[in-house]
Amino acid sequence: MLYNKVELTHDQVVYVEDTKRYKRHAAYRQNVFGIHGHLQRDDRRTVPACCVKAISIRYPSLTGNYLFQDEE
């Protein structure tokens, strides 16, 4: 696949990154729902590594950061 090089402003980069982050989150939720059904509020399940890889390929982070980390 060929991509055109486009110069983005800082605001556009943040918007694109936020959009991809929301899509990754939705994909994780749909994946867990498809496997485990409806979960209770405090019920957490691990997303299989193969699914994490597929989702991160489909909606890549521009910065390469996929975890929320505390800023110190």
CB within 8 Å of 18: residues ≥ 6 apart: none
Instruction: Give me the pLDDT at residue 70, please.
Output: 46
The Cα–Cα gap between 33 and 62 comes to: 27
Query: Can you give the pLDDT at residue 13?
Result: 66
Residuewise pLDDT in 10s, the chain (72 residues): 444 555 667 666 677 777 888 888 899 889 999 988 888 888 888 888 899 889 888 888 877 776 654 444
Q: Are 61 and 17 in contact (CB under 8 A)?
A: yes
d(CA 14, CA 60): 14
Q: pLDDT at position 7, please?
A: 65
3-class DSSP assignment, residue 49:
helix
What's residue 39's pLDDT?
84
